[in-house]
Amino acid sequence: MRIKTLPDVFINALPVLRKINEAGFEAYFVGGCVRDLLLNRHIHDVDIATSAYPMEVKEIFDRTIDTGIKHGTVTILFENNSYEITTFRTESGYQDFRRPDHVTFVQNLSEDLKRRDFTINALAMDVDGNLIDHFDGLKDLDLKLIKAVGKAENRFHEDALRMMRAVRFMSQLQFKLEDQTQKAIADNHELLSKISVERIRDEFVKMGLGKGSQAAFQVFLDTKLSEQVPCFKGKKDALSIFPKLNFAPTTEANLWALMIILLKIPTNKIARFMRKWKNSNAMERQVAEIVEFFDLVSAQDPTNFDLFNSNLKTIASTIDLAHILGQPINGQALIDRYEALPIKNAQELAIDGSFLLKNGIPAGPRIGEILTDIKKAVTEGKIDNDEAQISQFLLELNN
Ligand SMILES: Nc1ccn([C@@H]2O[C@H](COP(=O)(O)OP(=O)(O)OP(=O)(O)O)[C@@H](O)[C@H]2O)c(=O)n1
């Protein structure tokens, strides 16, 4: 099969392939970019595989970066773009289930494609748009199937992260998992414990946010991959709600908040949960805020002061979560009320701490308490946000 019209991201890279060809070597587009081209998905970058050794690639191009010479990868800079060019290779060893002990360069594209994870990721395309499909990747694209190249168990022994990649691709592409591949994941799920939490987390988030997240999450539970990730062990029942939900979360923070709500993690354990998953401090704070506001809104109608203490992003997340969990809240009313607040943060208050000091309040914790009372009175509409009314409020407070 030959692709006649290529998107710009490929066209821009064609001179790179030609240069390698002219130097007497083979060069192909490989992996995810060919898959995404055939699926009409957005392509962020193209990967190139070649029969040239890294040193030979460096001789062909003027500007190069030694990205991973040992593993065969050289980055080249060409007309304002950068490309990763990797020598055809096979890998062997994998004592640790994640990194090959040896990389062996091979002269043959077919050998290179053989060590790739899934048939749909083992496609290549030459400079003329001809597709190279040694493992029926095109058929599986048609069947919407994630299927390991060769014996699935071997692929997962080489890199256990591929088991998470399988459910991630299921979700992102809305594909099914081929039976033998699923069985191999179920049989080998324990190998996932060899993989760093950060790498598992990145795949988990992509799975949770993909269009087919519900079906993928079900397989994530059924194969027991979920037993090998932080804080999910023994929690299949609580997590089984996710595949039954009618909607999926729309942001990473909402995904984590949803997990915390489903797992009924108490407020004082949220930080621990987020850290076990190696999330950033910023993500941890954002998620804690969302869960706290969601709990509040689930229990009662928030006051204007509650809305003031929150922010639009958190309110939007709470509305998303309520929608996902089928909780009836009037989201638009909450947003309207937030938009109508006379002040949205402390800086917008007509006075500050120094005003209170000038008005005879001694320095100390009382300043903060009075400021809170003033913000409450302003946001709840008891007084206007101006100095005169705040001064009057202060007088009444002190009597
Ligand atoms: N554990 C892995 C990771 C990658 N690959 C191969 O390397 C290619 C590029 O990998 P990567 O950039 O991580 O993923 P993509 O498949 O390109 O998908 P995405 O860009 O959506 O992450 C894959 O298509 C696949 O052929 C693999 O066999 N095993």
- Does the C-beta of 89 come closer than 6 Å to ligand 1? no
* Cβ-based neighbours of 5, under 8 Å, separated by 6 or more: none
Ligand 1, residues 117, 133, 141: which to mutate, most atoms within 8 A of Cβ? 117
**Residue 92: band (very low, low, confident or very high) from pLDDT cuts 50, 70, 90:** low
On the CB side of 35, CA atoms within 13 Å amount to 21
Q: What percent of the chain has pLDDT over 90?
A: 87
CA–centroid distance, residue 42 to ligand 1 (Å): 15
Residue type, 99: R
Summarised one tens digit per residue, pLDDT across range 98-137 is 656 578 898 899 999 999 999 999 999 999 999 999 999 9
Q: Enumerate the β-bridge partners of residue 78.
A: 81
Residue 97, both tokens: 């289930």
Provide the pairing of β-strand 73-78 with 64-68: antiparallel
Q: Which atom of ligand 1 is nearest to the CA of 149?
A: 28
**Residue 359: band (very low, low, confident or very high) from pLDDT cuts 50, 70, 90:** confident
All structural domains of the chain? 1-143 (3.30.460.10), 144-244 (1.10.110.30), 246-341 (1.20.58), 346-398 (1.10.246)
CA–centroid distance, residue 56 to ligand 1 (Å): 24
Nearest C-alpha to atom 8 of ligand 1 is from which residue? 31
Output the pLDDT for position 94: 55
Inter-residue contact 221 to 186 (CB < 8 Å): no
CA–centroid distance, residue 81 to ligand 1 (Å): 20
Nearest CA to 31 out of 97, 107, 85, 99 is that of 85
Summarised one tens digit per residue, pLDDT across range 37-79 is 999 999 999 999 999 999 999 999 999 999 988 889 999 999 9
Nearest C-alpha to atom 15 of ligand 1 is from which residue? 32
Output the pLDDT for position 103: 82
98 is in an annotated binding site: no
Nearest C-alpha to atom 6 of ligand 1 is from which residue? 116
Nearest CA to 210 out of 167, 242, 177 is that of 167
Over 90: is that where the pLDDT of 398 sits? no
Nearest C-alpha to atom 12 of ligand 1 is from which residue? 32
Residue type, 250: T
Output the pLDDT for position 329: 87
Tell me what the mean pLDDT of segment 213-235 comes to.
Answer: 98
On the CB side of 392, CA atoms within 13 Å amount to 10
* Cβ-based neighbours of 170, under 8 Å, separated by 6 or more: 146, 176, 177, 207, 210, 212, 215, 216, 219
Inter-residue contact 82 to 16 (CB < 8 Å): no
Summarised one tens digit per residue, pLDDT across range 254-304 is 999 999 999 999 999 999 999 999 999 999 999 999 999 999 999 999 999
- Does the C-beta of 31 come closer than 6 Å to ligand 1? yes
**Residue 316: band (very low, low, confident or very high) from pLDDT cuts 50, 70, 90:** very high
CA–centroid distance, residue 32 to ligand 1 (Å): 6
CA distances from 130 to 3, 49, 344, 388 (A): 6, 15, 58, 77
CA distances from 147 to 56, 172, 226 (A): 34, 15, 20
Triad 4, 117, 225: Cα angle to 5°: 135
Q: What is the mean pLDDT of the chain?
A: 94
Tell me what the mean pLDDT of segment 229-255 comes to.
Answer: 96
CA–centroid distance, residue 167 to ligand 1 (Å): 14
Output the pLDDT for position 93: 56
Provide the pairing of β-strand 27-30 with 47-50: antiparallel
C-alpha span between 38 and 1 (Å, rounded): 11
- Does the C-beta of 117 come closer than 6 Å to ligand 1? yes
CA–centroid distance, residue 319 to ligand 1 (Å): 35
How many other CB atoms are found less than 10 A from the CB of residue 344? 14
Output the pLDDT for position 120: 98
Summarised one tens digit per residue, pLDDT across range 165-201 is 999 999 999 999 999 999 999 999 999 999 999 999 9
Q: Which atom of ligand 1 is nearest to the CA of 165?
A: 1
C-alpha span between 272 and 302 (Å, rounded): 27
E strands in 93-162: 102-105, 124-125, 131-132, 145-146
